[in-house]
Each structure stands twice: as C-alpha cells, then as structure tokens.
Structure 1
Amino acid sequence: MKNKLCVLALTTVSIGFAQVNFTNPDEASVVSFQTKEIDISSMKTEGSPYFQEKFKRGTVYMDGQKKIIGNLRYNAFNSEIELQRGDSEYTAILKRNNISVKIADETYELIPYHDDIYGNLRTGYFVAMNQGKVSLLHKPEKKLRRGRTAATNYDRTVPPRYIDVSSYYIRKGDEPATKIYLRKKYFYEILGKEKIQDYVKKNNLRLNNVEDVITLLNHYNQNMVSK
C-alpha cells in the first residue's frame, strides 16, 4: 500500500511502520499489514486531513458480515479509513468493494463514479444520504493547497493548507455515480422536470438543501422510479 502522508514534498513527516499482529483471524482479510504513527503534529500545514480527528467506535463489514469492531476514523485527504492500534498507531482498512465501514452514524462504501473533470471511471468512498433506486451520495474529501515561501521581506510565507472539497453525487441503481450540484435545474435534468416539478412546488422544496433533496428522492423512489 502506498504511503500517501508525504504529499507534494511540502511536509516533513516521520512515520514508523510495523507489522500488525493479527490476533483476530478476520482482521487479515480487511486491514493493511502496516501500521503508522497517529501523531502528525510535525506536519507544518494548516487544517487537518480529517473532518473528525478523534477515533470513534465503528464496525467493519465484509460481504455484509461484521469483521471488526474498533476505533475508526476517515482520512478525507488520503481517502482511507483508519483503524486505531493502541495509543499511538493505526492501520488502514483495505479498499475492496465488498468491504464497508460504519463510523458512528455514517456508513462508508466504495462506489464507482465518473470523474467530473475527465469522465474517467474511478472508485472512491461515499456516504449514502438515502436508500432506494436513486440515491444522493456525499463524497467527503480534502485537498492540500500548495503553500508559498516569502520571496522578499515584504512578502509573507503561506503554509500548505487542507481545504474542504467535498461534493455530492447521484447514483441510479448499480450505475456509476455522477457529480451533481444542489440546484433545481440539475435534478430536473436527471429525474425529469415533468415528473417532479409539481411535487417540488407543492412542498416548497429547496433543492440546495440536503434534507429537501432527500425528501424529493424518497418520493421519487416510492412513486415514480418505475414509471
């Protein structure tokens, strides 16, 4: 597995690796054999690669069956789910389509999607916001914005900074997900304006609001998905 903690040669990170001692046979099928240090305080960047830095209790599933219950967190920069090992180390959950992870009340699944820049087919972690034939997916993601070194005494050095670039996608059945902006016209294009316009108006739905989008999709799945 590639170690992605050192990025763009902008940061200096001291990372210790060790082999995992699998006391639970199930773990060998879902986690990496390497561990890394939890403490990344030496990274001279602003922000964090995590939305939630603290590990939370969660469950790792393989083919729908529980494999591991432990302390987990999602690395939104590396697109990895990390499993805590003791007080100072963690290991990464393997990226396989039959492995899903629930952390607190969010379930992370690997889902195919079309890259919105080049249209290439990729696979990434998503959190489904609703259930049904047509689903809204949240793709939690962070990127590292390049820093800048002061060229003169009048300039100031700007350190690299993690920024939130999370987005939403729509998925129909088992098709690859497609990026969508939370605006009315996009839902009209995808779902059919003639099918949903009256419902949107009658219920005063604001489709830039996630909860209203979920309300619309639940209605669509229950009443119109086969029509």
Structure 2
Amino acid sequence: MKRLAFSLILLSSYVLCSQQVGTAAPQIGAVENDPFANFHQRWTPSMQKLFQLVRDDDGKVTHFVGAEVGTPYENDSFELGHVWYKDEDLGEFYYRYNIFSKEIELKKTHLTEEKHQALIRDPNVVLEASIGEKAYHYLTFTTDKDVHEEGYLIKLYQSNEFTLYKHLESKYTEAKPAANSMVNPTPSKFTTFSSYFLQQNNGPIKEISLKRNKFLKQLDPPSAEKMKLYFKKEKTDLSEERQLISAIVHLNKADL
C-alpha cells in the first residue's frame, strides 16, 4: 500500500511561472550536477519515487526571478510539514507555498544547495504544517461570483459541521518607466489577496463575505440565528482572521 501511495504522488515537473511574466526566467545548473546525488542514493526506492529529479524539455531546472517589491510566496523561508496521501503519512519535508505559480515546493533538507521539487496537485495529497493548525488541500470551490475553480485552500479550522478555508491569490504588476522627470517609475511587484471559504456538513465549499450582514445571508437559518446572537455579544470584525475563526468556532457550539 505504501509503495502504491508513493507511486501515485510522483512530483510534477517544476517550472515556476511557465507563462511569461516580466523578464524571461534564466537557466541554472543542470540536474546532473546535483550535489545531493549521494544523499538521494541513500533513500528508499519509495522515497526516490516521491522525489525524482525535476527536468524540463531541455533537461535543466529553471526558476523565476521575482519582482522588485513583494513576494510570490506565502512565506519566503521553508517550513516543516508532513505530506499525506489519504490517511498515510509519507514523511516530514520542508515546504514553501508559491502562491503565484500555485505550487507547493518541497525539500528533504533545509540546505540551500538542495533543489526544491513541486508537489503534484491531487485532492488525495495533503500537506500539514508542523507548526500551527493549518493544512493545504487541492480542492474545488465556488467563488462569490458563482465560478467553480480548483486550487490550494488552507484549512484554518474544522469541526464536526463546519470547515473554514483560506485562499491566497497573487497578482503580478509589471514595472512602468517614469512618464516624465516629475513622476517616479513604478517598480514591478507581487500583491497577495486573501479570501475565505466555508463548508458545511461536507457540502460545497463556498466563498463567504466578510461583511456581517452578507455573511448572515449566506448561512442556513438556524446557523444565521446563532450568529446574530454571537454578533450581539461580540464586536466581531470578520476581516480580522482570528476573529473570523472565533466566529466559526462559536457557530459550532449549541449554547449560542
């Protein structure tokens, strides 16, 4: 079963930002020069299946040179997390979520010389952060414009009835030269946007409004009544993530 699980989670070919954004991505060293060749050889056959060398068409690893302002990552540094296939823990890895390319980058070590890999996008594959209660799921969800999309959702809270997710989106803006000497040039930049989604009783995952009145209308009548009572007791700002989580936690309680 474990061998099957690993074989189903082969890493996808990693080319950050395959679409052209700004300047073209430069080529870096060929994977044949991998300084971790001996380290990889000590892995089990299953681990070698999970972490295969990543190549593009010309046999070299590429990366994207980022913008002058901002970052495409949730966090620039790699953090520890566990990769799961269904209910099977495949091990602990260092991960970094690239919001812009919609990729989770993985490394077995924290060494800068090790090239990262891209985790395959699969609903059966989940990455759980070792620190903090959050997990990354590749799921189908519905936006507030009633558009069905697929992507990574970060699970912030789960109860027997409600699950709250966070979705991150990154926008790249190209640099603009100064129109004249009186105007400063605009640097290229990444801007990150957050939205939140709620799932009730394993139903569809739908985006929620962070405005209290609109949020109440998105709930079923019993849940809306509970929330009204909660809002009367608490001056809740749903745009503040901790307060939003607290509201969903209390929504699951019967004594509201």
Q: Same fold judged by TM-score > 0.5?
A: yes
Residue 57 of structure 1 corresponds to 80
Residue 199 of structure 1 corresponds to 230
- 1:27–1:190 Cα change, 3 Å: farther
Please state how far the C-alpha of 1:6 moved relative to its aligned partner: 5.1
Which of 191, 198, 203 is the equivalent residue of 1:175?
203
Is the partner of 1:144 in helix, strand or coil? Answer: strand
Residue 54 of structure 2 corresponds to 34
Alignment partners' CA distance in 1, 2:251 and 2:67 = 47
Alignment partners' CA distance in 1, 2:203 and 2:53 = 32
Residue 78 of structure 1 corresponds to 101
1:66 lines up with 2:93 in the alignment: no
Residue 123 of structure 1 corresponds to 150
- 1:135–1:151 Cα change, 3 Å: same
Is the partner of 2:242 in helix, strand or coil? Answer: helix
Per-residue Cα deviation, 1:43-79 (whole angstroms, up to 9, x for no partner): 4532211131111122111112111312111111112
Structure 1 counterpart of 2:128, one-letter code: K
Q: Which runs of 5+ in 2 are unaligned?
A: 1-12, 35-39, 56-60
Residues 48-57 or 211-220, more deviating: 211-220
Structure 1 counterpart of 2:210, one-letter code: L
Please state how far the C-alpha of 1:10 moved relative to its aligned partner: 0.8
Matches within 5 A, 1:94-133: 94-103=120-129, 104-105=131-132, 106-117=134-145, 119-132=146-159, 133=161
- 1:213–1:9 Cα change, 3 Å: closer
Residue 119 of structure 2 corresponds to 93
Residue 31 of structure 2 corresponds to 18
Alignment partners' CA distance in 2, 1:18 and 1:101 = 26
Residue pair 2:208, 2:218 contacting (<8 A) in 1 also: no
Is the partner of 1:45 in helix, strand or coil? Answer: coil
Alignment partners' CA distance in 2, 1:116 and 1:189 = 13
Alignment partners' CA distance in 2, 1:187 and 1:115 = 14
Please state how far the C-alpha of 1:203 moved relative to its aligned partner: 4.0
- 1:7–1:147 Cα change, 3 Å: farther
Is the partner of 2:107 in helix, strand or coil? Answer: strand
- 1:201–1:12 Cα change, 3 Å: same
- 1:125–1:44 Cα change, 3 Å: closer
Residue pair 2:142, 2:205 contacting (<8 A) in 1 also: yes
* Percent identity of equivalent pairs: 21
Is the partner of 2:157 in helix, strand or coil? Answer: coil
Residue pair 2:173, 2:188 contacting (<8 A) in 1 also: yes
Structure-2-length-normalised TM-score: 0.72
Alignment partners' CA distance in 2, 1:9 and 1:108 = 26
